[in-house]
Structure 1
Amino acid sequence: MTTTENTTENTRVPQEHKARLNIAGRIPEVYKAMVSLDAASSKGLDPVLVELVKVRASQINHCAFCLDMHTKDARHAGETEARLYLLNAWEEAAGYYTEKERAALALTEAITVLTDGFVPDEVYERAAAHFEEQELAQLIAMIITINAWNRFAVTTRAVPGAYQPGQHA
């Protein structure tokens, strides 16, 4: 495998990993709508919680581009390294996440992995117990939105590494 230096992150990135398609360039109206949807769906939610949910959905969906982006954004929002490292095992790392965060992560997994069936009542009710109705609606919209972003990025093979916090998707 041929690699090149990525000076932004000082890591090695495979040269043959190239994007298939530039969604923003080919369908700018859809891209702009997604950016607007992303902003609207996250409005009023705790920025750290938003990034935890986005990272967790991106882990499940194997979206390297979104993982790169949202781990950087999470750190920028004040998230700790330990919580990011343990996110894949959040259920076993109970002391690291609040009950509200754990309810949001359970809902994220249930919405993201619909092949397991419908979102279970107990998962929804757990989230409803920790979030006001408006906040819960925002959370659901945000989870759906990150899943859409993941699908765009995975399908088009968006290349991770160059994103810096403060940039748009």
Structure 2
Amino acid sequence: MTQTLETQAPIDRLKIYKSSPELLEAMLALSAASAKDVDVELGELIKIRASQINHCAFCLDMHLVDARKHGISQQKLDLIAAWEEAGDIFSERERAALALTESITELHNGHVPDDVYARAAAVFSDRELGQVIAAAVTINAWNRINVTIRQEPRAALK
């Protein structure tokens, strides 16, 4: 009889940041570059929403802590998964960034729709739009690495 994934003993996962320190260095540089000129609170909302979609517990834990440190309200954090139905709790810039983040994160659905892109382009300067796109792409990269290696919340990057 074949075992299911749920009944198999967990396998040891690569400690990628230890075995490939240049990857960690490059990812940290990408993170710093993509965060330039992006409002810190908006950046955290982007990171949280992508991490929710990607089921990255490590990144969710980290960025929820960071969001609270930066003064993002608990109400926003509670409602970010349902931001479209949250009324005026999120600004138009936040809603545009969250819509764009979701489209970038869910590329398996096809592409970033023109209306989503246009909504973001209407509220961000070219520089800001580029940085919002970069922020969403960067957190998606972090999510995919951490989910693959099953990086646990608050685990040391060893």
**TM-score, length-normalised on structure 1?**
0.84
Where in structure 2 are there 5+ consecutive unaligned residues?
Answer: 1-8
Out of 29, 36, 40, the residue aligned to residue 29 of structure 2 is: 36
Q: In structure 2, what is the equivalent of residue 105 of structure 1?
A: 98
What corresponds to 2:6 in structure 1?
A: none
Question: Which of residues 131, 139, 150 is equivalent to 1:146?
Answer: 139
Give 1:11's aligned residue. none
Aligned to 1:90, what secondary structure does the other structure show?
Answer: helix
Structure 1 or 2: larger strand share?
1
Q: 4+ residue runs of structure 1 moved beyond 3 angstroms? A: 16-19
Give the alignment partner of residue 23 of structure 1, picking from 16, 24, 33.
16
Distance 1:160 1:126, change over 3 A: same
Could you give the per-residue CA deviations for residues 109-161 of structure 1, whole angstroms, max 9, x where no partner exists? 00000111110000000000010001100110110000000000000000103
Give distance in 2, aligned partners of 1:80 and 1:162. Answer: 26
> CA 1:150–1:62 in structure 2 vs 1: closer, same or farther (change >3 Å)?
same
Confirm or deny that 1:61 pairs with 2:57.
no
Q: Cα distance 1:37–1:19, how it changes in 2: closer, same or farther (>3 A)? A: farther
SS of the residue 2:115 aligns to: helix
Percent identical = 56
**How many pairs were matched up?**
149
- Higher fraction of helix: 2
Other structure's SS at 1:62 match: coil
What is the SS of the residue equivalent to 1:79?
Answer: coil
Matched, 1:74 2:55: no
Of residues 43, 48, 52 in structure 1, which corresponds to 2:41? 48
1:46, 1:141 → 2: CA distance?
Answer: 13
Structure 1 position 18, deviation (Å): 8.7
TM-score (norm 2): 0.90
The verdict on how the C-alpha distance between 1:19 and 1:36 changes in structure 2, with shifts beyond 3 A counting, is farther
Q: CA deviation at 1:162?
A: 5.1
Structure 1: runs of 5+ lacking an equivalent: 1-15
Distance 1:98 1:31, change over 3 A: same
1:54-104 residue CA offsets vs partner (Å, 9 max, x unmatched): 000000000000000000011111111110010000000021100000000
How far is 1:20 from its partner? 1.6
Q: Is the alpha carbon distance of 1:34 and 1:112 closer, same or farther for their aligned partners in structure 2, counting shifts above 3 Å?
A: same
Following the alignment from structure 2 to structure 1, what is the Cα–Cα distance between the partners of residues 125 and 65?
28
The 5 A counterparts of 1:104-143 are 104-143=97-136
Q: Quick one: distance in 2 between partners of 1:40 and 1:77?
A: 19
